[in-house]
Amino acid sequence: MPAPRASSAAPVIPGAGPVARPAERPTLRLRESGAGTGEEEQPRYAPEWLELREGADAVARAHELLDPLRIRLANLPGRTGGLVVHDLGCGTGSMGRWLAPRLDGPQHWVLHDRDPYLLHFAAVASPRSTADGSRVSVETRRGDVARLTPDALAGASLVTASALLDVLTREEVDTLAAACAGAGCPALLTLSVAGRVDLTPKLPLDAEITEAFNAHQRRTGLLGPDAVTAACEAFAGHGATVHLRPSPWRLGPDEAGLTAQWLRGWVGAAVEQRPELAAPAQKYLAARLASCATGELRVTVHHTDLLALARPTGGSS
């Protein structure tokens, strides 16, 4: 019998928030699909959810990581013809819209995702110019990345991803780190969940919901809030220098729509993990949504941004 969900008057947008739906995986995977496991099914992250969170993501990302990134990109050996950026699990392309206008020079973005609709949206809505007015070009690559290798990143100047690390396994993170190291390109991996949430006003169930949600994120071997630690170890083990900065969502009255959707997903995941929480979680969610509607609620969802500076190789560009 499926675990009961905490619910409220409005449903969660399909794919919204941190709830993992049955058979749902991130839009880009680093492993082969297993026959009969359900993983061959196409997941969908609703563009409505990705659009809803884009503004909060843009404000949260750690801008202070851009200077060391710019320095490394300016000094990559053999760099000609601008930057080549691989965006893994690009969704609707929010990472490109945030980052491309903050870097100088011509840029070619390679957008990776399993969902053809999201790829189309990302390509159509991609930025057209960089910080210095140079041109941005885009190509899309649909499908899973079963084995990410340095060859797959040949010619890459930079690998980016947003909200990806915490839905990977330790093996997948090591595969990613090894590929970036082999290609000699840096990686900017933003908005990985840190496992901490601060809510004002506080309620007695806050800690229990947080713990259940974190346990839910670790199901089926995924790293969840352990992802950043695992990524630091993996990239450092492959010789990269790693920089970390906090990138929290700070949600108040102006983000009420996002907060309400996030709350439903967050509490729903906790109930999936611990069905015995269903009754108290229902009351908890109703109280939180009421507080959100009146503008009283403040939420800080902690994330971490990671910049891994791999040792450049002679063939990198």
CATH number assigned to the domain comprising residue 262:
3.40.50.150
Which tokens in the block code for residue 293?
Answer: 């509607």
What pLDDT score was predicted for residue 27? 41
Indicate the pLDDT class of residue 314, thresholds 50, 70 and 90.
Answer: low
pLDDT (0 to 100) of residue 239: 95
C-alpha 213/C-alpha 207 separation (Å) is: 10
In angstroms, the first-to-last Cα distance of the chain is 53
Q: Which pLDDT band holds residue 111 (cuts at 50, 70, 90)? A: very high
Four-residue CA torsion sign, 215, 220, 225, 229: positive
Across 77-81, 224-228, 258-262, least confident range: 77-81
pLDDT digits over 120-169, tens only? 989 999 999 999 999 999 999 886 554 567 777 888 999 999 999 998 99
User: Given this model, what pLDDT does residue 14 score?
Assistant: 40
Instruction: State the pTM of this model.
Output: 0.85
315 falls within a domain: no
307 is written with which tokens?
């910049």
Whether residue 316 has pLDDT greater than 60: no
Asked if the model's pLDDT at residue 197 lies above 90, the reply is yes
CA distance linking residue 99 with residue 111, whole number of Å: 13
16 domain residue, yes or no: no
Tally of domains in the chain: 1
Cα dihedral 306/312/315/317 (nearest 10): 50
176 located within any domain: yes
Cα gap 238→232, rounded to integer Å: 10
Helical H segments across 82-184, by residue range: 94-99, 116-124, 170-183
Q: According to the model, what pLDDT value does residue 133 have? A: 94
Whether the Cβ atoms of residue 239 and residue 181 lie closer than 8 Å to each other: yes
How many other C-beta atoms are found inside a 10 Å radius of the C-beta of residue 24? Answer: 18
Per residue in 267-282, pLDDT (tens digit) is: 999 999 999 999 999 9
- CA gap 19, 3 in Å, rounded: 12
Could you tell me if residue 11 is inside a domain?
Answer: no
Domain membership of residue 5 (yes or no) is: no
Among residues of the chain, what percentage have pLDDT more than 90?
68
Instruction: Give the model's pLDDT for residue 211.
Output: 97
In a domain, 37, yes or no: no
Which is it for the CA torsion 26, 63, 177, 128, positive or negative? positive
Range of the domain at 264: 47-309
Residue 60, in any domain of the structure: yes
- Closest to 102 measured CA to CA, from 73, 131, 75: 131
In a domain, 214, yes or no: yes
- 305 vs 146, residue with greater confidence: 305
Whether the pLDDT of residue 35 is over 50: the answer is no
Mean pLDDT of the chain: 85
Find how far residue 174's CA is from the centre of its chain: 17
